[in-house]
Amino acid sequence: MEWVPTLTDRDGPVYQRIVAALAADIESGRLLRGQQLPTHRALAKALRIDLTTATRAYTEARHRGLTEARVGQGTFVAESLSHPRRAAGPWPEFDLSMNLPPQPLEADLEGRLTRGIAAIQREVGFSALLTYRDAGGSQAERDIAAGWLRSRIADAHGDRLVICPGTQNALFNLLIALTSPGNVVLTEALTYPGIRAAAGYAGVRLVGVPMDENGVVPDALEAACRRHAPKAVYLIPTIHNPTTATMPLSRRQEVAEILRRSDVLLLEDDAYGALEPHAVPLASLIPERTYFAASLSKCVAPGLRVSFLLTPDHASAGLLAAALRASVQMPTSLMVALVTRWLQDGSVDAIIGAIRAEAAARQKLAAGVLAGHVYSAHPSGHHIWIPLPRNWTTAEFASHVQRHGLAIVTAESFSVDEATPHAVRISLGGASSRSELVRALDIVAAALKSSVARTRVV
Domain of 70, CATH number, reads 1.10.10.10
Q: Is the pLDDT of residue 279 over 60?
A: yes
Residues 191 and 317 both lie in one domain: yes
**pLDDT mean over 34-41:** 89
Q: Is the pLDDT of residue 90 over 60?
A: no
Sign (positive or negative) of CA dihedral 108, 114, 120, 123? negative
What per-residue confidence (pLDDT) applies to 129? 93
Mean pLDDT of the chain: 91
Q: Of the candidates 300, 273, 342, 309, which has an alpha carbon nearest to the alpha carbon of residue 137?
A: 309
Specify the number of domains making up the chain. Answer: 3
Residues 158 and 22 both lie in one domain: no
Residues 435 and 413 both lie in one domain: yes
> According to DSSP H, which parts of 179-284 are helical?
193-202, 218-228, 249-262
CATH number at residue 227: 3.40.640.10
Residue 157's alpha-carbon distances to 89, 143, 262, in angstroms, are 48, 6, 26
C-alpha 304/C-alpha 317 separation (Å) is 22
Q: Is the pLDDT of residue 86 over 70?
A: no
Q: Is the pLDDT of residue 85 over 60?
A: no
Q: What angle do CA 210, 213, 217 make, to 5 degrees?
A: 35
Residues 98 and 171 both lie in one domain: no
Q: Is the pLDDT of residue 389 over 60?
A: yes
**pLDDT mean over 185-195:** 97
Q: Is the pLDDT of residue 141 over 70?
A: yes
C-alpha 427/C-alpha 407 separation (Å) is 10
What per-residue confidence (pLDDT) applies to 458? 36
Q: Is the pLDDT of residue 455 over 70?
A: no
- Looking at 298, 316, 345, the residue that finishes a domain is 345
Q: How confident is the model at residue 168 (pLDDT cuts 50, 70, 90)?
A: very high
Q: Is the pLDDT of residue 84 over 60?
A: no
Residues 192 and 271 both lie in one domain: yes
Q: Do 312 and 288 contact (CB within 8 A), yes or no?
A: yes
pLDDT (tens digit per residue) in 214-240: 999 999 999 999 999 999 999 999 999
Residues 139 and 253 both lie in one domain: yes
What amino acid is encoded at 87 in this protein?
Answer: A
Residues 186 and 140 both lie in one domain: yes
**pLDDT mean over 346-372:** 96
Q: How confident is the model at residue 321 (pLDDT cuts 50, 70, 90)?
A: very high
Residues 281 and 319 both lie in one domain: yes
Q: How confident is the model at residue 1 (pLDDT cuts 50, 70, 90)?
A: low
Sign (positive or negative) of CA dihedral 333, 335, 337, 339? negative
C-alpha 335/C-alpha 117 separation (Å) is 9
How many residues can be counted in the chain? Answer: 458
Q: Do 242 and 409 contact (CB within 8 A), yes or no?
A: yes
Residue 16: CB atoms within 10 A of its CB come to 15
What per-residue confidence (pLDDT) applies to 91? 59
Residues 73 and 103 both lie in one domain: no
Q: How confident is the model at residue 452 (pLDDT cuts 50, 70, 90)?
A: very low
Residue 426's alpha-carbon distances to 242, 347, 397, 408, 411, in angstroms, are 9, 29, 12, 6, 11
Counting beta carbons within 10 angstroms of the beta carbon of residue 220, is it exposed (0 to 12), middle (13 to 18) or buried (19 or more)? Answer: middle
Q: Is the pLDDT of residue 87 over 90?
A: no
Residue 107's alpha-carbon distances to 36, 100, 299, 353, 356, in angstroms, are 21, 15, 11, 8, 10
- Looking at 317, 345, 373, the residue that finishes a domain is 345
Q: Which long-range contacts (CB under 8 A, 24 or more apart) does 59-66 make?
A: 60/15, 60/16, 60/19, 61/18, 61/19, 61/22, 61/23, 64/19, 64/23, 65/110, 66/19, 66/22, 66/23, 66/26
What per-residue confidence (pLDDT) applies to 72? 76
Q: Is the pLDDT of residue 445 over 90?
A: yes
In sequence order, which residues have a C-beta less than 8 Å from that of residue 274 and are 6 or more positions away? Answer: 294, 299, 352, 356
Q: Which domain holds residue 56?
A: 14-77
Residues 143 and 241 both lie in one domain: yes
C-alpha 432/C-alpha 82 separation (Å) is 5
C-alpha 43/C-alpha 37 separation (Å) is 9
Q: What angle do CA 254, 169, 293 make, to 5 degrees?
A: 30
